[in-house]
């Protein structure tokens, strides 16, 4: 289908974009367009105006400052995948991005759009939870920083107000020696997850010193598997602890049916992805 008519604006600064967003009541921000345009073509979204962020160069790029990796919201998946800084400092993010869609989508799709869309089937939301990211939101009153763990409110709903733009993603650099894995179960290459698990793991003396587990597409938001995390602390990773972690992770899920599976199936896959991600992370962690 063809989208309904809309006006098009392409500001060159965040300040101008914020001004436009405040003055056009039914405007939507346009990033890579890979989620918004399909929705417009299906007429699920009929914005009166699009504010394209593509010409705002300050919204692109990856840098390091104050023990954090800072990523501009308009940085594409392709750019993340080829960033040396991301590969060196955030291998979990690199592994997750490599599993998003296909090269065509990754050339245009942005990390900011993936986060702001609020789709729990998207991969960045759970990666951001596992990495303890924070989001810089810029609006008419200035900037505020929101933690990923409180950002996602429900399906297609986030803490960002209608007049705010996600401008930057801040991710603390994980401790040296951390293991990581993004284990994603999907029906075919390029598909969204049936379920996935993002794991960041720190071992000390052969037992778990710190662990972060976040799940994709098994709830209205990405889910932090806190009980599984708690149960692993101070334990070695073996069959018994893996089974218990998978069981507890499944208990954190509140999956609904979608074209990728029934709630029970998706929950079972989340358990299995948790087990696989923990094993892979352990193999990469310095003991
Ligand atoms: P857009 O579509 O332009 O915007 C999405 C929403 O976010 C809109 O509401 C827009 O107004 C808002 N928005 C965008 N940027 C900002 C900002 N800076 N501040 C505030 N609001 C903003 N995603 C996955 O995670 N995993 C997958 O496996 C996957 N597979 C896909 C397969 C296909 C075939 C397609 C078409 C898409 C797939 N996607 C997948 C989604 C893809 O990653 C999208 O690019 C992403 O969801 C949205 O990013 P975008 O830059 O295209 O944003």
Sign of CA dihedral 217, 281, 63, 85: negative
Number of C-beta neighbours around residue 133 at 10 A = 26
Amino acid 25: pLDDT:
87
Q: How far is the CA of 252 from the centre of ligand 1 (A)?
A: 26
Distance between CA atoms of residues 60 and 55, nearest Å:
10
Amino acid 123: pLDDT:
98
Amino acid 141: pLDDT:
96
Q: How far is the CA of 203 from the centre of ligand 1 (A)?
A: 35
Residue 238, token pair as written in the block: 């073996």
Distance between CA atoms of residues 169 and 135, nearest Å:
5
- 136 CB near ligand 1 (under 6 Å): no
Amino acid 149: pLDDT:
97
Amino acid 55: pLDDT:
98
Number of the ligand 1 atom closest to the C-alpha atom of 28: 11
Amino acid 103: pLDDT:
96
Q: How confident is the prediction along the chain (287 residues), in pLDDT tens digits per residue?
A: 799 999 999 999 999 999 999 999 899 999 999 999 999 999 999 999 999 999 999 999 999 999 999 999 999 999 999 999 999 999 999 999 999 999 999 999 999 999 999 999 999 999 999 999 999 999 999 999 999 999 999 999 999 999 999 999 999 999 999 999 999 999 998 999 999 999 999 999 999 999 999 999 999 999 999 999 999 999 999 999 999 999 999 999 999 999 999 999 999 999 999 999 999 999 999 98
Q: Which domains does the chain have, with CATH numbers?
A: 6-45+65-173 (3.30.465.10), 179-284 (3.30.390.50)
Distance between CA atoms of residues 277 and 222, nearest Å:
16
Q: How far is the CA of 35 from the centre of ligand 1 (A)?
A: 4
Query: In the chain, how long is the greatest CA-to-CA distance?
Result: 62
- 115 CB near ligand 1 (under 6 Å): no
């Amino acid at each position: 289908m063809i989208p309904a008519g809309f006006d098009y604006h392409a500001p060159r600064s965040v300040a101008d974009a914020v001004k436009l967003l405040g003055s056009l009541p039914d405007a939507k921000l346009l990033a890579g367009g890979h989620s918004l345009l399909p929705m417009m073509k299906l007429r699920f979204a009929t914005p009166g105006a699009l504010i394209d962020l593509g010409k705002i160069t300050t919204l692109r790029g990856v840098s390091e400052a104050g023990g954090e990796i800072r990523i501009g919201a308009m940085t594409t998946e392709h750019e993340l995948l080829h960033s040396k800084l991301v590969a060196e400092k955030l291998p979990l993010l690199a592994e997750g991005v490599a599993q998003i869609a296909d090269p065509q989508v990754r050339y245009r799709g942005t990390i900011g759009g993936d986060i702001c869309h609020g789709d729990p089937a998207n991969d960045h939301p759970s990666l951001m939870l596992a990495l303890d990211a924070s989001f810089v939101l810029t609006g008419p009153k200035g900037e505020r920083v929101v933690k990923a763990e409180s950002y996602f409110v429900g399906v297609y709903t986030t803490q960002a107000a209608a007049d705010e733009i996600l401008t930057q993603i801040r991710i603390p650099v994980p401790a040296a020696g951390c293991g990581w894995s993004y284990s994603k179960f999907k029906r075919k290459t390029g598909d969204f997850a049936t379920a996935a698990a993002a794991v960041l793991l720190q071992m000390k003396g052969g037992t778990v010193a710190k662990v972060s587990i976040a799940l994709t597409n098994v709830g209205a938001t990405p889910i932090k598997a806190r009980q599984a995390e708690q149960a692993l602390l101070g334990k070695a990773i073996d069959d018994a602890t893996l089974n218990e972690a998978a069981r507890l992770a499944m208990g954190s899920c509140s999956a609904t049916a979608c074209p990728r599976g029934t709630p029970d199936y998706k929950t079972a896959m989340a358990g299995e992805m948790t087990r696989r991600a923990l094993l892979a992370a352990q193999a990469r962690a310095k003991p």
